[in-house]
């Protein structure tokens, strides 16, 4: 098992290092396509830019699809201000409190990449006496470019325009005690787990009972990632996303979380029950929880009108949509649950 966990962490670091806010995901999709080729699987891009890989099973008419998303939160230039600094609009649930003082990259459409920092407007505490009282929103923070620019015209000369993507550093670290700290563990950690599961099946020469599709979506953070591209023979979808950790929930970073209900309603009772049974059978550390403010890829698929059973699992992740934290235990338990449930 250790070699698959090592592979998962390698892939997680590679995926996290690729900037990919919703709508700006070509590089990460190309990376996945190449990795599936290395693993010996066929994959293809969906029209929306996601990646679909197929792992043939013993039977073809009762397939399962595993969803993970590789799009992340981010920003977009909404205005070049008169002082040459940038006002941004959030992509997905990015929170200004979580990116203040963080470094970022600005990807222009035609003129390269620039670096900057997200700062409170008038950010010097020795100058701004109201520093502590100002609510952090995307109206009160700005991107300060690391270029000599002091006017709107100066910044435009760099090739920066409205609609350019602003991508924040993941700042990934793995501690000796096994904790994984990074932005965008939601959901690149689970995407890496799916790659690890595919590698496990290939190297252990295991053919699953059902055909398994792995669908890596690229618009989950804005609500329509898995609203299309469902193969005809799929009867069940299991979203593999971050598991919630917080007050009132049982899950920690060490368990695989089995979601019983989120803001979209309850997950299919048969699937929830079968996942818990599989976890108990294999002595896997798990927690079953209700997520109060959450929606997954599988919610989008259901709302698009598809007819199937659905579930949601993932490694416990603390401080979601901020500087997130998980643990190798949660990764291992998620991989083991996939193996047991799809055995």
**What average pLDDT does the structure give for the chain?**
97
Q: Give the confidence band of 227 by pLDDT, cuts at 50, 70, 90.
A: very high
Please tell me whether the overall predicted TM-score, pTM, comes out greater than 0.85 for this model: yes
pLDDT tens digit sequence for 119-160: 999 999 999 999 999 999 999 999 999 999 999 999 999 999
Average pLDDT of 5-24?
Answer: 98
The hierarchical CATH code for the domain 74-168 is: 2.40.30.40
Listed residue (136, 143, 165) closest to 71, CA to CA: 165
The answer to whether the bond into 187 is cis (omega within 30° of 0) is yes
Percent of the chain with pLDDT over 90: 99
Predicted pLDDT of residue 290: 98
Structural contact between residues 229 and 52, judged by C-beta atoms closer than 8 angstroms: yes
Cα(163)–Cα(78) distance, integer angstroms: 6
Domain ranges for the chain? 2-72+184-341, 74-168
How high is the pLDDT of residue 304?
Answer: 95
* Total residue length of the chain: 343
pLDDT digits (tens, 9 = 90+) for 248-290: 999 999 999 999 999 999 999 999 999 999 999 999 999 999 9
Q: What is the model's pLDDT at position 83?
A: 98
Whether the per-residue pLDDT at 298 is higher than 80: the answer is yes
Q: Measuring CA to CA, how many Å separate 295 from each of 68, 298, 301?
A: 13, 8, 11
Predicted local distance difference test score (pLDDT) of residue 106: 98
Q: Does domain 2-72+184-341 match CATH 3.30.530.80?
A: no
The answer to whether the 2-72+184-341 and 74-168 domains have the same CATH topology is: no
How high is the pLDDT of residue 323? 97
pLDDT, residue 60, reads: 74
- HSE (side-chain half, CA atoms, 13 Å) at 186: 28
**Which position among 14, 100, 153, 220 bears the catalytic label?**
220
Backbone torsion region of residue 232, taken as left when φ is above 0, otherwise alpha when ψ lies between -120 and 50, otherwise beta:
alpha
Tell me if 261 sits within 8 A of 291, measured CB to CB.
Answer: yes
Q: Catalytic annotation on 250? A: no
Give the separation between CA 133 and CA 135, rounded to whole angstroms.
Answer: 6
Average pLDDT over residues 181-196: 98
CA–CA distance, 1 with 16 (Å, rounded to integer): 23
């Amino acid at each position: 098992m250790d070699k698959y966990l090592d592979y998962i962490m390698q892939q997680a670091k590679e995926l996290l290092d690729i900037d990919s806010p919703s709508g700006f995901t070509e590089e990460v999709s190309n990376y996945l396509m190449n990795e599936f080729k290395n693993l010996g699987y066929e994959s293809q891009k969906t029209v929306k830019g996601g990646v679909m890989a197929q792992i043939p099973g013993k039977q073809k008419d009762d397939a399962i699809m595993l969803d993970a998303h590789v799009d992340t939160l981010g920003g977009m230039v909404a205005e070049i201000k008169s002082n040459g600094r940038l006002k941004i609009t959030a992509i997905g649930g990015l929170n200004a409190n979580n990116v203040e003082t963080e470094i970022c990259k600005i990807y222009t459409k035609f003129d390269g990449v620039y670096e900057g920092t997200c700062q409170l407007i008038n950010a010097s505490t020795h100058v701004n006496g109201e520093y502590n009282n100002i609510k952090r929103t995307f109206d009160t923070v700005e991107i300060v470019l690391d270029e000599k620019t002091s006017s709107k015209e100066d910044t435009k000369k760099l090739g920066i325009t409205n609609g350019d993507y602003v991508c924040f550093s993941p700042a990934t670290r793995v501690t000796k005690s096994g904790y994984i700290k990074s932005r965008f563990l939601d959901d690149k950690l689970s995407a890496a787990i799916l790659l690890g599961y595919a590698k496990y099946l290939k190297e252990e020469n295991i053919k699953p009972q059902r055909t398994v599709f792995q669908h890596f979506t690229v618009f989950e953070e804005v609500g329509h990632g898995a609203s299309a591209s469902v193969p005809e023979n799929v009867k069940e979808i299991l979203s593999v996303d971050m598991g919630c950790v917080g007050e009132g929930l049982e899950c920690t970073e060490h368990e695989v979380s089995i979601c019983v209900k989120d803001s979209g309603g309850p997950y299919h009772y048969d699937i929830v029950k079968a996942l818990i049974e599989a976890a108990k059978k294999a002595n896997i550390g798990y927690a079953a929880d209700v997520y109060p403010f959450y929606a997954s890829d599988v919610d989008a698929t259901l709302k698009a009108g598809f007819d199937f059973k659905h579930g949601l699992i993932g490694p416990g992740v603390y401080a979601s949509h901020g500087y997130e934290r998980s643990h190798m235990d949660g990764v291992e338990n998620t991989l083991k649950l996939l193996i047991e449930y799809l055995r």
